[in-house]
A and B are shown apart, each in its own frame.
Chain A
């Protein structure tokens, strides 16, 4: 059977060939503690599953060859339909494997809850996902950046998320997993980077024709640079206009604003702002 050979080859190819490419975006190219834990978890599952999959991959070609109709050498026992020993084995091995995997899952899931802070004194950021754009509000710094998330690489960050109109899902794959951003609700995502760098972020949930454009850059800067950058941004920015969302949508938004309007996020995330239906 040819597929028996094609498949492992493909897997191998992806495992070996894909990382060779530059500037990847997925969590396999982890650049933060959460993504790294995801990657490790991913690989450990592959190993555990090998216990169940490898015997089949070996057994199948052997059996097909030995018991083929034309010239197969195997004995023919047309009524062989049960074997207590084999049954015990084929139930107990998966039970054991899934048992270990379940143990693993429980611990990984609890420790990697996206709501769980990754360190003391995180940088607080409020993210508003809108059609085609993301707004990041830094309440302590008093600024707003558009389509760019400025992180201090030496500090963890805590994002509060909401969405203006439809369901979206926010992720910076190389740093951590995603969480939904929902209109009228606030969700949370904790992030951290191992090192300074620029990491792509995006909405993963289809949201309309502009969906492929809903991306942002995450810049993790060394601490001193970060402070300087915030200062510079503050100096160059004008005040946040009340109709900022409309302006950005029309394409005449700025890259950053001064957040005079401190509760923009709270207003958008309030359920009552979404009751206007009809």
Chain B
């Protein structure tokens, strides 16, 4: 009976008990990680209680359906998960650098767990929430909307993602995560070879997060189609919104094959199915096929929003219109469609005919065309501008250069001839980190620096931001250039130890780089603390700290909860620049109207918690618990559909008061020249352009 509710979970599965039984270095590291997690949770709980923050946390954040707050929570979640994943990367690096001299730090299975959690977390619980968060915060503001089309669904997506994060976190303390890498190929992850709970943790974490992402994709695509303010034609949307649109479409189509593949794998493991077992008519190659059917569009999900961010950064910090808007839009669309035609390049070496390989190889290289176009459009955006190397711009230019290398190695890998030699090698690891770190991660850091003032009302401290940059930028080169070299020297990925002494110096260089990146992350944390402390000097209440160009900069910082007092007028791609030029940005309105906003709801939290519990129970084969929790999810969904009173009205008077208070802030601010943008004089009002 208890078995139905607890499944296979036993005392021995607790990491601490395991360490108690076998106290070696490997188990000590595992127990320390689990201990850190438990301490972190306890400390957070104590802090919330002592400060009396429970109520505001619940009322203002967890139950909020405001897209801005949901966006911020996504980013916060991503940063927490990043701390773990980057720490894991450092353990792997330290282990490889010291392994072969002696046993290294961790056992081979533990090393495998590390690269599996690192990869899974970085993709699904760092990169995805980061960009989903930024898109959430920025996109509705940029199209002049009050919120996304389905605010409740938006919060549900967030909570499902959080549940996935929770599940991966729990695997630190209870049992073990998969050792099959982020791609989880069977038969290795099948029941015969990996009978434990590991692959199930992986399967259900991916399922939760991919359902969340599918829903997000639908939500954002509908929002972009239906919620644009009057005058905002598709071809007047800021480029970032175009990338959000393409990303959303990719999310809608790409997540399904993943959910399907992991579900089929689960059926193979626990229900006697044979989708991927060769002897019974199954086909393991189809798993690779389905996984990459998702996996390749996924990498474009990761990079397209970054392209959007770079487009905003280059034009904003060059004080100039984006060059080649149409080119960039068409290039983005081309990339989105092409990204569904290339997935085979992840398994060129599986033995199919040369003409199949060649066709997919050429399709892959075709993506190089629109991508190359983008790079030059950004370069020309800076031409004839007034370029200011603020933190986001430092990242942007660094990206431009390192992206060349990533692009070149990408084209190399697109050639089956070359891929036969470097597939599965550290060359590949270097290539994808080359795209993911300067591409996705740095773009999201740039985005945080760019839009932080709009979210919180004050700028981030520039000096510490530069520290983040100057630690991470060389850190990346040091950490990953050696991997290109090692890959070309025959070093393979997922290798727990290299016995070849030739690799030693390279491994130490890579270790040093990993430490620099970790230090960069620490600098980011310091930067946030310092900025909060000095928030008065950094405050930009008038709302436009960077002489912004698109609608999100219209209005105060932090934004009105209803985003805009009235309907902003849009007559140009750079809608806000046009308003400023016509002197209409800071006008008083004649009339104000009541505004309807979604009411808070506990439904998403409850759904997230129950879905997380159901997933956890599935991992431990506690069928009764799983069934109850799953039924609970649907009970809540059905219950919610009977709730009619889901909106709350903000009276016109309140809107008017808020709007006037902002206009007073604007009146009190002195317009600043871009030269003085970093001084306390910058209260968020830009000087009239000459």
Is chain B in direct contact with chain A in the complex (CB below 8 A)?
Answer: yes
**Which of B217-225, B243-251, B395-403 touches A?**
B395-403
List chain B residues, Cβ under 8 A from A72: 386-387
The reply to whether B278 and A56 form a contact with Cβ atoms under 8 Å apart is no
How far in angstroms is the closest Cβ of chain A from B257? 19
The reply to whether A67 and B383 form a contact with Cβ atoms under 8 Å apart is yes
How far in angstroms is the closest Cβ of chain B from A207? 7
How far in angstroms is the closest Cβ of chain A from B670? 19
List chain A residues, Cβ under 8 A from B415: 41, 45, 101, 104-105, 108-109
Nearest-CB residue, chain A, relative to B481: A10
The reply to whether B424 and A94 form a contact with Cβ atoms under 8 Å apart is no
Q: Mark B493-509, 1 if CB is under 8 A from A, else 0.
A: 11111111010000000
The reply to whether A278 and B191 form a contact with Cβ atoms under 8 Å apart is yes
Q: Mark A267-278, 1 if CB is under 8 A from B, else 0.
A: 000011111111
List chain B residues, Cβ under 8 A from A166: 187-188, 193
Does any Cβ of B come within 8 Å of A87's Cβ?
yes
List chain B residues, Cβ under 8 A from A120: none
The reply to whether B420 and A178 form a contact with Cβ atoms under 8 Å apart is yes
How far in angstroms is the closest Cβ of chain A from B515? 18
Nearest-CB residue, chain B, relative to A206: B494
A77–B315 Cα distance when bound, in Å, is 12
The reply to whether B185 and A26 form a contact with Cβ atoms under 8 Å apart is no
The reply to whether A183 and B423 form a contact with Cβ atoms under 8 Å apart is no
A169–B411 Cα distance when bound, in Å, is 22
List chain B residues, Cβ under 8 A from A70: 675
A146–B354 Cα distance when bound, in Å, is 31
Q: Mark B333-359, 1 if CB is under 8 A from A, else 0.
A: 000000000000001011101110110
Cross-chain contact of A75 among B384, B387, B674 (Cβ < 8 A): B384
Given A165-B187, A277-B277, A7-B357 contact (CB < 8 Å): no
Nearest-CB residue, chain B, relative to A270: B279
Does any Cβ of A come within 8 Å of B258's Cβ?
no
List chain B residues, Cβ under 8 A from A119: none
The reply to whether A173 and B421 form a contact with Cβ atoms under 8 Å apart is yes
Q: Mark B384-426, 1 if CB is under 8 A from A, else 0.
A: 1111110000000110111011011001101111111111110
Does any Cβ of A come within 8 Å of B453's Cβ?
no
Which of B321, B362, B401, B418 counts the most chain A CB atoms within 10 A?
A: B401
Does any Cβ of A come within 8 Å of B492's Cβ?
yes
Query: How many A-B contacts if CB must be within 8 Å?
Result: 324
Q: Mark B295-325, 1 if CB is under 8 A from A, else 0.
A: 0000000000000000000000011111111
Does any Cβ of A come within 8 Å of B192's Cβ?
yes
The reply to whether A209 and B187 form a contact with Cβ atoms under 8 Å apart is no
Q: Mark A147-179, 1 if CB is under 8 A from B, else 0.
A: 000000000000000000111010101001111
CB-CB contacts below 8 Å: A205-229 with B: 205-212
The reply to whether A105 and B361 form a contact with Cβ atoms under 8 Å apart is yes
Does any Cβ of A come within 8 Å of B369's Cβ?
yes
**Which of A184-192, A235-243, A255-263 touches B?**
A184-192
A97–B362 Cα distance when bound, in Å, is 12
Given A7-B401, A82-B323, A101-B488 contact (CB < 8 Å): no
Does any Cβ of B come within 8 Å of A24's Cβ?
yes
Given A41-B415, A180-B350, A275-B386 contact (CB < 8 Å): no
Does any Cβ of A come within 8 Å of B558's Cβ?
no
Which of B353, B389, B488 counts the most chain A CB atoms within 10 A?
A: B488
Given A63-B379, A82-B323, A106-B372 contact (CB < 8 Å): no
Does any Cβ of A come within 8 Å of B29's Cβ?
no
The reply to whether A98 and B424 form a contact with Cβ atoms under 8 Å apart is no
How far in angstroms is the closest Cβ of chain A from B587? 23
Cross-chain contact of B191 among A21, A177, A277 (Cβ < 8 A): A277
A29–B326 Cα distance when bound, in Å, is 45
Cross-chain contact of B193 among A91, A94, A208 (Cβ < 8 A): A208
How far in angstroms is the closest Cβ of chain A from B492? 5
Does any Cβ of B come within 8 Å of A202's Cβ?
yes
The reply to whether B320 and A77 form a contact with Cβ atoms under 8 Å apart is yes
The reply to whether B420 and A176 form a contact with Cβ atoms under 8 Å apart is yes
List chain A residues, Cβ under 8 A from B382: 63-64, 67
The reply to whether B278 and A185 form a contact with Cβ atoms under 8 Å apart is yes
Cross-chain contact of B369 among A91, A112, A206 (Cβ < 8 A): A91
How far in angstroms is the closest Cβ of chain B from A203? 8
List chain B residues, Cβ under 8 A from A112: 354, 416-417, 420
The reply to whether B327 and A60 form a contact with Cβ atoms under 8 Å apart is no
The reply to whether A56 and B375 form a contact with Cβ atoms under 8 Å apart is yes
Given A26-B421, A173-B421, A184-B279 contact (CB < 8 Å): yes
Does any Cβ of A come within 8 Å of B689's Cβ?
yes
The reply to whether A10 and B477 form a contact with Cβ atoms under 8 Å apart is yes
List chain A residues, Cβ under 8 A from B416: 105, 108-109, 112
Does any Cβ of A come within 8 Å of B272's Cβ?
yes
A71–B444 Cα distance when bound, in Å, is 30
The reply to whether A69 and B191 form a contact with Cβ atoms under 8 Å apart is no
Does any Cβ of A come within 8 Å of B516's Cβ?
no
The reply to whether B278 and A184 form a contact with Cβ atoms under 8 Å apart is yes
Nearest-CB residue, chain A, relative to B383: A63
Nearest-CB residue, chain A, relative to B107: A209
The reply to whether A78 and B324 form a contact with Cβ atoms under 8 Å apart is no
The reply to whether A207 and B188 form a contact with Cβ atoms under 8 Å apart is yes
Given A90-B327, A113-B354, A38-B279 contact (CB < 8 Å): no
The reply to whether B353 and A113 form a contact with Cβ atoms under 8 Å apart is yes
List chain B residues, Cβ under 8 A from A202: 490, 492
Does any Cβ of A come within 8 Å of B474's Cβ?
yes
CB-CB contacts below 8 Å: A62-113 with B: 63-64, 67-70, 72, 74-83, 86-87, 90-91, 93-95, 98, 101-102, 104-106, 108-110, 112-113
List chain B residues, Cβ under 8 A from A271: 278-279
Nearest-CB residue, chain B, relative to A109: B358
Nearest-CB residue, chain A, relative to B674: A69
Does any Cβ of A come within 8 Å of B373's Cβ?
yes
A173–B500 Cα distance when bound, in Å, is 15
How far in angstroms is the closest Cβ of chain B from A107? 9
List chain A residues, Cβ under 8 A from B400: 56, 60
List chain A residues, Cβ under 8 A from B285: 182
A179–B498 Cα distance when bound, in Å, is 22
Cross-chain contact of B404 among A6, A53, A274 (Cβ < 8 A): A53
26 CB-based A-B contacts, threshold 8 Å: A7-B477, A10-B481, A21-B502, A23-B502, A24-B489, A41-B417, A45-B408, A49-B407, A49-B411, A60-B379, A64-B389, A67-B386, A69-B387, A77-B320, A78-B689, A90-B372, A95-B369, A101-B411, A112-B416, A176-B420, A177-B417, A178-B349, A210-B108, A212-B495, A274-B278, A278-B272
Q: Which residues of A contact B (CB under 8 A)?
A: 1, 3-4, 6-7, 10-11, 14, 18, 21, 23-28, 35, 37-38, 41-42, 45-46, 49, 52-53, 56-57, 59-60, 63-64, 67-70, 72, 74-83, 86-87, 90-91, 93-95, 98, 101-102, 104-106, 108-110, 112-116, 165-167, 169, 171, 173, 176-180, 182-185, 187-188, 200, 202, 204-212, 271-278
Closest CB pairs A-B (n = 5): A177-B420, A275-B279, A25-B490, A184-B278, A274-B279
